[in-house]
Structure 1
Amino acid sequence: MKTAKELLLGYLEHINNPDEAIKLFADDAMIELPYLASLGLNYQMKGKEVIYNFLKNLPDTFTNFKFQNIQIHIDTPDQVFGEYEVNAIVNSTSKPYHQLYMGRLVAEDGKIKLLREALDMIVVARGMFPDGLPQLPL
């Protein structure tokens, strides 16, 4: 049975391989990126099918999306907290995407039950919106 740290490292390693990454998730798992709501974007993915579709779309959204500089700060068998970076290109705008993620993963029965990540919304807006910050929703 995998620990929370093993699950997080496996997820980060297989981020561009949804067929492998999805095997790490429980059937009722959830990925949350709560601060995406401030940009009017969906922030919660519930269930393996929804998570799989989210992961499948990453290569269409970004070029060279790969986690690096992974640091684990808290590590217990059921929970892990880490920081990890991405340096990619947003395909729709051709803008750079240099992001620091912070993630808390909760494991249950050797599977990912919850992955909650925080990220800089200004970086998201500058990269994803053609006009950058002026395009932010009110």
Structure 2
Amino acid sequence: MSHDSKPRNAQEALDAHLALIGTDIDRWLTLFADDATVEFPYATGTGLPPRLVGKEAIRDYFSRTPEVFKGLTFSNVRRYSTSDADLAISEAHGTATIATTSKPYAQDYVFFVHVRDGRIVRYREYWNPLAASESFGGTAHVAPSLGVK
């Protein structure tokens, strides 16, 4: 996929997400439809929103990702086949250093990506809030570190 083209299917969109989220939020945002939603089903209790609606809300939430999650990389990516080219399901292990604490961050993720016309319309991310809390120095520090009020 070139820099200016949109993904052809959900798996390409998910792969592009993993490649861009830690380094280039502006390019990463081009993967999303204007009416996209992002869901974090396990965010309860972290002070983070469980759901973001619309590209501007997604931008506001993720804008600090590259500066907070230093060196964010994904490994052990496992892709699961679906009968729907507009749905991708993957697991991955993410690692980074949290800028506000200098602590290592290690997280196992499960991603569901739904696309429409080559753009992500629904992104669902499952992650362990306890792992995040440890890396950010406690649950109370997760949201403020990401600029979430």
Tell whether 2:111 aligns with 1:103: yes
CA pair 74-96 structure 1, distance change in 2 beyond 3 A: same
Aligned counterpart, 2:38: 31
Match of 1:11 in 2: 17
Aligned-residue identity in percent? 31
Q: How does 1:1-138 map to 2 (within 5 A)?
A: 2-15=8-21, 16-75=23-82, 76-128=84-136, 130=137, 132=138
Q: Is the 8 A contact 1:82 1:103 kept in 2?
A: yes
Shift of 1:69: 2.1
* 3-state SS in 2 of match to 1:7: helix
Contact kept in structure 2, 1:71 and 1:83, CA below 8 Å: yes
Q: Partners of 1:92 and 1:42 in 2: how far apart?
A: 20
Q: Structure 1 unaligned runs (5+)?
A: none
Provide the aligned length of Structure 1 versus Structure 2.
134
* Other-structure match for 2:3: none
Alpha carbons of 1:22 and 1:133: their partners in 2 closer, same or farther (altered >3 Å)? closer
More helix by share: 1
Is the Cα contact below 8 Å between 1:74 and 1:82 reproduced in 2? no
Q: Cα distance, 1:133 vs. partner?
A: 6.8
TM-score (normalizing by structure 1): 0.87
CA change 1:78–1:63 in 2 (3 A) is same
How far does residue 134 in structure 1 lie from its aligned partner after superposition? 9.8
What one-letter code is carried by the residue in structure 2 that aligns with 1:61? Answer: V
